Chains A and B, each alone.
Chain A
Amino acid sequence: MTSALGSVPAGSGTAPRPGGADPQLPVRPHRKRWGRTARWVGWLWVLPALIMYGVFVLRPLVLTVQYSLYRWNGIGTAQWVGFDNYLTVFTDRDLLKIITNAFVLIIFFSFIPVALGLLVASLVRRITTGPGGTLVRTVLFLPQVIPLVAAGIAWSWVLSSNGLVNQLLRAVGLERITRPWLGEFSTALPSVGVIGTWIMLGLCTILLVTGMSKIDPSLYEAARMDGAGPIREFFAVTLPSLRQEIGVCLTVTVIAALASFDIVYISTSGGPGIQTTVPGLEIYRLAFSQRQVGLASALGVVLMLLVLVCVLPIQRLTRGEKA
């Protein structure tokens, strides 16, 4: 049996656990007192962090839920509207489209970077342990270091009418398909997605490379002795061993996709039309430009729940076996 804290089995008991009032083990009074103090001292140590957490995470969370039940412009008096704001979120056609956009971005922010990351990691695994390793890792990780705003600006130049992408296309005679990638209805969302892929790929690759370096080489040896080629090796050894790393990659990137804001705000501002508007951007617009704090809060709560709904199964799937 494990206690609620998941601590060591309580029954092993040669050393009296501090404060653990196990009736079979006589505990000397002063030690008992010391133990009790120790626990409270422990709480004392985490108290500053807990207060910060309460004030800056729990309190805003509770307030957001509260605001979502009102019609409020942020300044004047608020009017109680119950679940009206939630009804709007789930029935407004534009808002539904905006939520869908976020799910499309998951493909670009999560699936593609993880898949590509696996490929790249397998290829560079040997290089990263060699002398040029630091260089390779730095280059791969660079997109993570660059501020998203800077990345957004740089990419909007690359994808503009006379940007690098179109210049390259013209150079190879593909003039016909050049276009303002971020300004056209059909290509805007995928183009924003590509920016996300670029940013997330480095993170995923580094995580996966690190995971690969922990795999016991004897497993590969065994596989090879059984006559497995590199592809079989990848599916039989590498992939299963990376279960947890893939889980972390997916969790981080799915949250990044659903909660995206910076890249979209900088590269397209949600346009053209509402083609690339994502919930994060809409929440900001609703709250600050349209001054519908209630509706913005409701959308915020829905977004939080969506993130949980998407991320919890990933956690369960990738943790399940090892825990």
Chain B
Amino acid sequence: MSEFSTRFTRRRLALLVPMLAAGLTITACSAPGSEQPTSEDSGAPVSTELGTDPITLEMYAETGFPLAKALADEFTKQHPNVKFNVREDQFTVIVENAPRVLASDNAPDIIRLPTMVDLVKDGLLKNLDPYFDAHGWDKFPASQLVQLRLTDGGAERGSGSLYGMGLGYSVTGVFYNKKQAEQIGMTQPPATIAEFEDLLVKAKAANLLPIMQFNKNTAGINFPYQALQNQYGDASQIADWIFQKQGATFDTPASLKAAQTIEKWAKAGYFPKDANAIDYTAMMGEFQKGNGLFMFNGDWESANLDKNMAGDVGFFLFPGETADAKHVAMSAPNTFGVGARAKNPDAAAYFLNWVHTNDKAREISVNVGGSHPGGPADLPLPPVADGTVLAETLKASQQLGADNGAVDFTANATGGIFAAAITPEMQKLIAGQQTPEGYVKAVQAEYEKELSR
């Protein structure tokens, strides 16, 4: 009897052991991951010719922003040999997928980029310096592309080689509901932060919601927060922090004062009571329904607001502490890069150049994207209808350029800072679960943790 059972199990074992062994061998016990082949193409000649061979450009773009698709369609119309295969995802999904998609054999030629630092560190993005020279992008204002530069190996942003271009260059500020502004006697945009706060008080007294802002899923209140932070101190400190410059810190008096102001506004009821339960889409819906005097947002909504609230919306750049303070605002290119393993990098770069310089493309950038098209400083801006909010955001964009006041979003400082620190801590701050000091320290702590990896 016992012989029977032992033999049986032995047989079972005889089968299972090799299977398990095979399983373990498949998994290969070497360390996961591998060194990506560094692109050896930096010195290789690049072509600025599109050629006439039929090609298909793989494009990975953002859902909800029709600009990329519109530009691709126009490009195909002008150059019928180039077709686009556009894949779209939500921005957060692109952030999560970008490394794997770029590392795959089917890497996109043109991809909407989240933060580029990690991607450059892993050698997944094409260095665009050869194209910069070949296409003469030195005629663009240098400040336009500065956020897209990285030093060797992605150690620091803001200088070094070019790794992306913008499909439009966005500017952020404050949209306001003109009817409600009239109701509380606001005849022109506030010239100082004090004036702005005065308007908040008046709106509250008139039973209006002073600021419609989302704070669910991702921290929308980081818009007003950074707007304040930009003005309370030296904005270049914030830029250094975002660019991961040595010794840069978030723990500054300006950050703290901004956090205190946000806390004060939240306690005074200037934000929606349920801001932590309002997401971006809900915010846009509410503002368009007339709920909210102000909304901190970017010019990518200009075309949309002109359509749904025609004539009823205005826009201004967030003011400084004094009326003569220089304008500073979060402004970033809608970054697109070229995959290091892309099959048609020359055509991709040609497309990026075309977007900045072709008249029709610039028109589409403005009318569909709502943003400044960038490109050489001497090219005229496409005309837009007077009285639209689009005209106002474009004007603001030029004003900002003249003041050289563009700062990137703090959310772009590292890959995880927004999800891991800014969003949860901001949700706590406005609900009274976190102190302003605690907020600033928590964000800096997460930043250091991520940089130490």
Contacts and interface: CB of A to CB of B under 8 A. Distances in A.
Contacts of A160: 274, 277
A222 interface: no
Interface string A45-72: 0000010001100110011001100111
A78 B35 CA distance: 9
Contacts of A273: 424-425, 427-428, 431, 433-434
A73 B99 CA distance: 10
Interface string B272-316: 011111100000000000000000000000000000000000000
Nearest to B99: A75
B415 A78 contact: no
Interface stretch (B7-15, B245-253, B350-358, B393-401): B7-15
B364 interface: no
A269 B1 contact: no
| A interface bracket (residues with beta carbon within 8 Å of B) | 35 or more
Contact of A50 (B19, B124, B273): B19
B33 A22 contact: no
Contacts of B122: 73, 75-76
B184 interface: no
Q: Give the bracket for the number of chain B residues in contact with chain A.
A: 35 or more
A72 B33 contact: yes
B420 A290 contact: yes
Interface string B414-453: 0110011001110110010110000000000000001001
A75 B36 contact: yes
Interface string A18-37: 00111000000000000000
Contacts of B450: 290
A183 B275 contact: yes
Determine chain A's interface SS by DSSP, over half rule: loop
Given A62-B24, A76-B122, A185-B433, A289 B34 contact: no
Interface in B1-42: 1, 3-5, 7-9, 12, 15, 19-20, 22-24, 26-27, 29, 31-36
Interface in A61-103: 62-63, 66-67, 70-80
Contact of A54 (B19, B36, B431): B19
B4 A10 contact: yes
A271 B423 contact: yes
A170 interface: no
A274 B424 contact: yes
A180 interface: yes
15 contacts: A1-B1, A3-B4, A3-B5, A5-B8, A11-B1, A22-B4, A54-B23, A58-B20, A71-B453, A75-B99, A76-B122, A184-B276, A272-B433, A274-B424, A291-B118
Given A73-B118, A271-B217, A291-B99, A4 B274 contact: no
A170 B11 CA distance: 71
A131 B389 CA distance: 64
B96 interface: yes
